[in-house]
Amino acid sequence: MDSATIAQQVRSFIVENYFLGQDYRFADGDSFLNHGIIDSTGVLELVAFLQDTYGITVDDEELTPENLDSINNVATYLLRKFERTAQADDPAVREGILRGNA
């Protein structure tokens, strides 16, 4: 999965759920909170969407604007998350973690 695909899926979720499908224009880099796109409750709904859609767990320490306050931030966060998961699933990496080498 690439950044453009994630961006489109997140944008579709936001438009469908917060703008009821109405055409609301905002840039992928616009802050959700600063631009009034979604509020703090909306961020929690976004997290639930990300967890359900992408099969991830968003840990408490990951609930930061750097990860979740724009479409670009969400896409970057998910790609990092996927990469870490893929590395952890690699037997050589897993063995290094178990031995304390990673």
User: What CATH number is given to the structural domain containing 86?
Assistant: 1.10.1200.10
Band of pLDDT at residue 1, cut at 50, 70 and 90: confident
**Residue-averaged pLDDT of the chain:** 87
Q: What gap in Å lies between CA 35 and CA 18, rounded to an integer?
A: 13
Six token digits for residue 67: 């990860």
**Whether the predicted pLDDT of 95 surpasses 80:** no
Q: What gap in Å lies between CA 77 and CA 62, rounded to an integer?
A: 9
Measured N-to-C along each axis, helices 71-89 and 3-18 cross at an angle, to the nearest 10 degrees, of: 130
What is the rounded average pLDDT of the residues 1-7? Answer: 92
Residue with tokens 């703008």: 19
Which of 64, 58, 60, 61 shows the shortest CA–CA distance to 78? 58
**Domains in the chain: how many in total?**
1
Residue 36 structural domain: 3-98
